[in-house]
Structure 1
Amino acid sequence: MTDLDLLHFEQLKKSVQAQYLTEYTPSFDEISKWKGIDIIYFQEDLRKKAKGNISEKSFYTYFKSSPVTKLPRIDMLNLLSIYAGFDSWYDFKKQNLFVGELLKDEEDLSESDLKELEKTVSASVNLEENQENTVSTVKTEPVLSDLQKSDIDNQSVEEIPQNNEVTENKRFTPAKKSYQRTAWIAASSVFVILLGLLGFKDEIFQKTYTYHFTDADRNQGVQSDIEIKVIKENESPILYRIKPGEKFVYASKDKAIKMQISSAVYENLEVNRNLENAPKEETIELKPDDYKMALYYFSIKDIKGENSEQLIQQKRKQLENLISNAAVITQVYDSDIYGLEALDKEDYITLVTTPTTSLKNLNVIEMKKDNKGKIVSIKFKISNNENNP
C-alpha cells in the first residue's frame, strides 16, 4: 500500500457519494454525515447494482473518518469501484491517475511473479529428491563368515526323563483355575451392573414432560419459531429452538422448571412449574404482540401490486398508535467509532415499514411499555450480514 492508494480511495468515496446522489436524497449530501436510515438505503442500492454488501461497521470505519489511514480489503475496493461505474479497483485507479503517476500493471505482474516462484520451488524440490535417491542407491556388500557354520545332522539328542510328580500336580491345576475364573466372572458381572446403575441413574429416575404451544387469539398452533430458555439455579441457561407445529419435550429429575419463552411475533412469557404434581403433557398459550407482528410482516414480505401503498399506510398507522410520541428509540452499532444513534418516531416507523434486505436482520434488544400499553423505549440492532468485508 502506498500514500497514493489512500488518496485514490478518497477519490473513490467521492465517486460512490456522487453515484448515490444521482437517484437518492439522503439527510446530508456528505457521505461521512449519513446516519442509520441513509446507510440502510445505500446498502440496498449497493446490493442491487454491485451484487454485494458492506456492513455498518465497515461503513463507519472507512466512510465516517477522512482521510483514512488504512485501505479496505481488495474485494471491498472492487465492490465500491463497480458501484461507482468502473470494472475494478485497478480500473478506477487507471482512469484517475494523478499528475506524474505511473501505474504499474499489478495484476499481470503478480501473475508473472507467481509463475516464476512456482518454477523455482519446483526445481528446488526436484533437486532434493534426486539427491535423496542418489544416497539411497548406494549398495552395501554382504559380509560372509564361516564362523557360524555348524553341522547338526550328526549331533545326538539327549532324552530328558519325565517327572511323574509334576505330571500328577498338573491334573489338579485346571480344576483350580476353572473355579477361580468362575468367581472372577461373577465379581466382574456385579461390578458392571453397579457401574451401569450409577451411570444411568439420571435416566432411570428422571421424568419426561411435553409442552405444546398455541396462538391465544386464533386457537391454533403458533406460526413462527419459538426460543425457550430453561433456567437452572447456579447454571447457565439452556436454549432450545422450536419450529412451528413442533412440541417441546423436556426430560428432568428436577422438582421444578423455569422457562423463558420468546418469539418474533408473540409476547415474551415466563413459565414456572412445580414438576412434583405437574401433568406430563400441557398446552401453553402465547399472546400475539401487535408491534412484533408489524415488524415481522415487513421483514418477510416484499410488498408489491396495486394495494402496496395502502398496506404500508395501514401498518404505519398501526405502529403510530402503538409507539408513544415521546418514545426513546436507539440503534446499536458494532463499531468502536460510532456505537449508538437516536432516531425519532417518524424515522423509525419509515425504517421498519420499508421492505429492505437489512430489515430481515433487525433485532429488538429491548422494548418497554407504560401501564397503558404504549411503547416508550426501543433499543434495536441490525445484525452484520456482510458478504464482502
Structure 2
Amino acid sequence: MTELDFFQLLKQEVLVTYQKQYPYFQGNWKSFSSQDIQNLIELVEEKTRQGISEKWIYTHLKAETNSKLPRKDMLDILSQFSGCSGWDEFVFTNREVVIGQKENHSQKNKRHFVVIGFLAVLMVAILFFAYSGKKQTQKLQLKNEFTNDTIQAKEVKAYTIEDDKKIEIPIRNSEIEVALKDENAKVVIQSPYYKKQEIKVNKTSEKTEILLQPDDYAMMLKAFMKSDIKDWETRKIQLNKILSDNLEVIVMLKNDLGAEYFNKNEFSEKLIIPTESVKRMQILEIKNNNEGKIEFIRIKQ
C-alpha cells in the first residue's frame, strides 16, 4: 500500500471517531455538512489541543481522491484524533494489519461459505430484534415564538429526563427527534438566549413546533456583541440598562488555558468597541437577577 492508501484509511478512521461523538451522522465525507465540519474542528481541538481549519477539511478530507499527501504535521493531528500517537504509528499499525490479512487469506477462503452462512443467520437475527425493539419517535422543530424563525443549533440545548438524569438530544436543522418509550417523554430546552422550557411529548403522528420565548436582555447583549454599531456612547448607556451593577463575567480561554474575569465596567468597556474578537465570542450561560437584569455571563472565546 502507498502512503496515499494509508491516508484514505485515516480519513475513514476520522469519520469513525467523529461518529462516536455524533452517532446520528451516518454519511460519508461527501455528505459531511458545514455544521459537521464545525463540530469536527471543535472535537479535534478538544482532543489534541491543536487546530485544523475549515479550508483544510474541504481540500483534503471532503475530496473523493487525493493526488498529494498532506503535510505530516496535519497527518499527526488526525492520527492522534483517531487514537494513535502520530502518523508513523498509524501507518505501522495498519501495515501490520494488511500483512496479517494476506497471511490469513488462504485460511479465510476455506471458511468462506461457513462465514457467509453464519453472517446470514446473524443478519436475520439483528433485523428481527431491531424491528421488534424499534422505538417510536417524534420530531420537534424549535422556533422563536415572536419571529417564528427557526433557532440555530449552537444557541440551544435539548435534553430528555430519564431516571432523574439528563440525556442530551442532537439538534439538526433546528429539529430534535425524541424517542417515546412511554406515553409521554419529558424534554427540557435550555439556551442563554431563550427562557427554559419543559415539554411533555405525546405519541402523535404530526411534527410539532416548540416556540421558545426569547430573553429580551440576552438578545440585546447578543446584538451588541455581533453588530458594527460605532456609537459607543449609545452602546454604553444601553448596556448600563441591561447589566446588573454586580455583574460577573467569566470568559473561558482557548486550549484550556483557564478563564478571565470581568466586572460590569470592564465588560462594558470591552463591548462598546465592536472588535473581531468580541464578535467571535459565544455566550454559554446567562443568569438574571430579580429585576431581570443580567448578573452573570459565561462566554467561550
- Could you say which TM-score interval applies, normalised by the shorter chain? 0.3 to 0.5
TM-score (norm 2): 0.48
Q: Which has the higher contact order (CA 8 A, sep 6+)?
A: 1
| Structure label with greater radius of gyration | 1
